[in-house]
């Protein structure tokens, strides 16, 4: 059936990469968010909601000149006052901004979680959208490897609460501290510099801006060159190596299964030390479900006090795609009044039943046949049918929709009868 006229169709389409979230999907979203609330409370994380819109600098100055997000993916525009603003492409920079502007440094360590929509101008495909949603958790003001262990353990616990442990695997890496990264950067520039003309165009730019990101390249030609690249591990300072060992040891102690993968470099510039990702084989190319790491320099770089921090985010759409079907929502009771007096009675009866905790579907009009069809369509388990005769005798006719059995019930016994 055509619901909309041809010429209106384009204007009425959702913007590419965005979609309406209905029925089943929204229930899956709710399960993810409920589990997040529950599990985050167990770890002492407080909820935090930051604005969807931030000044562009919040992201531009922090996520990295060479990052895809800043270069190609931000929804940035000038507002009516002439300020450059951006729809947040991630939570971390906004949380760091909120940490500074609200003076939360007095209360460290601050542990917060958030959820909500984000925007990245990416090429849409299964599991990748331009408007998507994340749950995000951050520990701000903790320099110890124990905080990394807690962040990763929280992520693992969350996936477990959603029944996804068997569908995901955890890989971790260390990007080292600033000094290790500087040493490694020099080694990479020397190595990739030799192959400059063979690298992809993107990687040639990365060679100038952030050579570490070349390791992330999916280009076939680049991959051949990457095989022989020096490894970061050989460039760790003693401190960086000790920090990574402590994180691995802590994870072993906490019983979270993981593998070390030197290729986990993450797509944002602010990371140091721990980087981690939970991936799945079930979503095709978009295999990253939950990812994060340590970002000790970010808050200071934004003009705040020196505040080491670690955290992660997970895509709610991707989690929702992996969830098993939820238990069906509670089935309603349908009211089927016949005649004006019963219509009037239906209003107060619906209210009384709802106060007793029963979802009620009140068909808004039509004859008995139409209302019974509607009752079946909305999945009602029972229909309460009543007209003048029932009202006079103080009873209802109760029809069980699964069996078709119909019997009279005294008005004051209805709630009890519906509970059986
Ligand atoms: P990220 O790796 O960019 O990290 O995103 C985290 C997760 O968000 C991904 O693993 C994926 O599940 C989901 N995601 C990302 N882009 C899309 C998209 N276009 N469509 C659907 N899902 C997507 C961050 O955002 C960091 N801020 C995480 C973090 C927090 N690091 C420290 N604290």
Q: Which of 74-88, 122-136, 170-184 is predicted with the least confidence, judged by mean pLDDT?
A: 170-184
CATH fold, domain 333-419, is Rossmann fold (3.40.50)
Per-residue pLDDT reduced to its tens digit, 16-72: 999 999 988 999 999 999 999 999 999 999 999 999 999 999 998 888 776 778 878
Task: Give 63 Cα–ligand 1 centroid separation in angstroms.
Answer: 12
CA–CA gap between residue 336 and residue 397 (Å, rounded): 10
Task: Give 180 Cα–ligand 1 centroid separation in angstroms.
Answer: 25
Region 371-395 average pLDDT: 95
What is the predicted pLDDT for the residue at 10? Answer: 67
Categorize the per-residue pLDDT at 267 as very low, low, confident or very high, splitting at 50, 70 and 90: confident
What is the predicted pLDDT for the residue at 1? Answer: 45
Q: Is ligand 1 within 6 A of the CB of residue 280? A: no
Bridge partners of residue 409, in order along the sequence: 396
Q: Which of 154-158, 168-172, 258-262, 267-271 is predicted with the least confidence, judged by mean pLDDT?
A: 267-271
Per-residue pLDDT reduced to its tens digit, 293-326: 999 999 999 999 999 999 999 999 999 999 987 7
Q: How far is CA 368 from CA 331, 373, 410, in A?
A: 20, 9, 21
**Nearest Cα to 164, choosing from 59, 316, 267?**
316
- Cβ burial, residue 33 (10 Å; 0-12/13-18/19+): middle
Q: Please measure the distance between the N-terminal and C-terminal CA atoms of the chain and give it in whole angstroms.
A: 41
Q: Quick check: 120 and 93 in contact, CB under 8 A? A: no
Closest ligand 1 atom, CA of 311? Answer: 33
Task: Give 314 Cα–ligand 1 centroid separation in angstroms.
Answer: 6
Nearest CA to ligand 1 atom 11: 315
Q: How far is CA 408 from CA 31, 180, 384, in A?
A: 39, 80, 10
Q: Quick check: 114 and 88 in contact, CB under 8 A? A: no
Q: How far is CA 345 from CA 319, 334, 339, 342, 374, in A?
A: 45, 14, 10, 5, 19
Q: Is ligand 1 within 6 A of the CB of residue 250? A: no
Task: Give 28 Cα–ligand 1 centroid separation in angstroms.
Answer: 18
Exposure letters 383-414 (e unless 16+ CB within 10 A, then b):
bbbbbeebbeeebbbbbebeeeeeeebebeeb
Q: Quick check: 398 and 406 in contact, CB under 8 A? A: yes
CA–CA gap between residue 410 and residue 398 (Å, rounded): 10
Question: Which SS3 state, helix, strand or coil, does residue 255 take?
Answer: coil
Query: Residue 346: which residues within 8 A CB-CB, separation 6 or more?
Result: 335, 337, 362
Nearest CA to ligand 1 atom 25: 90
Q: How far is CA 359 from CA 52, 347, 348, 399, 411, in A?
A: 34, 14, 14, 16, 18
What is the overall mean pLDDT for the chain?
93
What percent of the chain stands above pLDDT 70? 97
Quick check: 100 pLDDT over 90? yes
Q: Which of 40, 170, 288, 317 to mutate to test the pocket of ligand 1 (most atoms within 8 A of CB)?
A: 288
Region 372-376 average pLDDT: 95
**Nearest Cα to 90, choosing from 28, 128, 47, 132?**
132
What is the predicted pLDDT for the residue at 213? Answer: 83
Q: Which of 134, 141, 273, 318 to mutate to test the pocket of ligand 1 (most atoms within 8 A of CB)?
A: 134
Quick check: 5 pLDDT over 70? no
* Phi–psi pair at 22, nearest 5 degrees: -115, 170
Residue, of 295 and 270, whose pLDDT is higher: 295
Domain positions in the chain: 2-177+237-322, 333-419
Per-residue pLDDT reduced to its tens digit, 396-411: 999 999 999 999 999 9
Residue, of 327 and 20, whose pLDDT is higher: 20
Query: Residue 9: which residues within 8 A CB-CB, separation 6 or more?
Result: none
Q: Which of 74-78, 100-104, 145-149, 211-215 is predicted with the least confidence, judged by mean pLDDT?
A: 211-215
Residue with tokens 């084989």: 281
Nearest CA to ligand 1 atom 30: 312
Nearest CA to ligand 1 atom 21: 128
Region 93-98 average pLDDT: 97
Categorize the per-residue pLDDT at 149 as very low, low, confident or very high, splitting at 50, 70 and 90: very high
**Nearest Cα to 174, choosing from 216, 215, 233?**
233
Quick check: 11 pLDDT over 90? no
Task: Give 114 Cα–ligand 1 centroid separation in angstroms.
Answer: 13
Please give the CATH superfamily to which domain 2-177+237-322 belongs. Bira Bifunctional Protein; Domain 2 (3.30.930.10)
Task: Retrieve residue 191's tokens.
Answer: 């190595």
What is the predicted pLDDT for the residue at 171? Answer: 97
Element spanning 244, H or E: helix 238-254
Q: Is ligand 1 within 6 A of the CB of residue 94? A: no
Q: Which of 17, 97, 291 to mutate to test the pocket of ligand 1 (most atoms within 8 A of CB)?
A: 291
What is the predicted pLDDT for the residue at 8? Answer: 64
**Nearest Cα to 360, choosing from 373, 347, 369, 372?**
347
Closest ligand 1 atom, CA of 92? Answer: 27
Categorize the per-residue pLDDT at 162 as very low, low, confident or very high, splitting at 50, 70 and 90: very high
pTM given for the model: 0.89
Nearest CA to ligand 1 atom 23: 315
CA–CA gap between residue 59 and residue 321 (Å, rounded): 28
Element spanning 346, H or E: helix 340-355
Provide DSSP, 108-160. Answer: PSEEEEEEEEEE-----BTTB-SEEEEEEEEEES--SHHHHHHHHHHHHHHHH
Task: Give 323 Cα–ligand 1 centroid separation in angstroms.
Answer: 18
Bridge partners of residue 278, in order along the sequence: 170, 290
């Amino acid at each position: 059936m055509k619901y909309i006229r041809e010429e209106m169709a384009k204007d009425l389409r959702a913007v590419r990469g965005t979609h309406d979230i209905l029925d089943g999907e929204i229930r899956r979203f709710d399960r993810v968010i409920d589990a997040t609330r529950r599990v985050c409370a167990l770890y002492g994380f407080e909820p935090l909601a930051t604005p969807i819109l931030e000044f562009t600098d919040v992201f531009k100055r922090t996520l990295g000149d060479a990052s895809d997000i800043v270069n190609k993916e931000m929804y940035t525009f000038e507002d009516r006052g002439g300020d450059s603003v951006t729809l947040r492409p991630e939570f971390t920079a906004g949380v760091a901004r909120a940490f500074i502007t609200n003076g939360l440094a007095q209360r460290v360590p601050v542990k917060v979680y958030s959820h909500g929509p984000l925007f990245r101008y990416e090429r849409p495909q299964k599991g990748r959208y331009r408007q998507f949603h994340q749950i995000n958790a951050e520990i701000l003001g903790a320099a110890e490897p124990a905080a990394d262990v807690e962040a990763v353990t929280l992520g693992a616990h969350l996936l477990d609460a959603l029944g996804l442990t068997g569908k995901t695997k955890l890989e971790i890496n260390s990007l080292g501290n600033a000094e290790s990264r500087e040493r490694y950067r020099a080694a990479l520039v020397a190595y990739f510099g030799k192959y400059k003309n063979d690298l992809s165009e993107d990687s040639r730019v990365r060679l100038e801006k952030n050579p570490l990101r070349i390791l992330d390249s999916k280009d076939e030609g680049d991959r051949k060159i990457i095989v022989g690249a020096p490894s970061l591990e050989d460039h760790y300072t003693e401190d960086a190596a000790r920090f990574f060992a402590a994180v691995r040891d802590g994870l072993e102690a906490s019983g979270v299964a993981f593998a070390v993968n030197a290729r986990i470099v993450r797509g944002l510039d602010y990371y140091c030390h721990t980087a981690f990702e939970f991936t799945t084989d079930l979503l095709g190319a978009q295999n990253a479900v939950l990812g994060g790491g340590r970002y000790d320099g970010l808050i200071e770089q934004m003009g705040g006090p020196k505040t080491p921090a670690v955290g992660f985010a997970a895509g709610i759409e991707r989690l929702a795609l992996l969830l098993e079907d939820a238990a069906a929502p509670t089935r309603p009771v349908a009211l089927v009044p016949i005649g004006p007096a019963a219509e009037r009675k239906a209003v107060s009866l619906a209210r009384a039943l709802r106060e007793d905790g029963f979802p009620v579907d009140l068909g808004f009009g039509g004859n008995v046949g139409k209302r019974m069809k509607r009752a079946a369509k909305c999945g009602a388990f029972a229909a309460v049918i009543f007209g003048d005769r029932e009202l006079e005798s103080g009873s209802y006719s109760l029809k069980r929709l699964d069996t078709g059995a119909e019997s009279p019930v005294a008005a004051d016994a209805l709630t009890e009868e519906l509970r059986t």
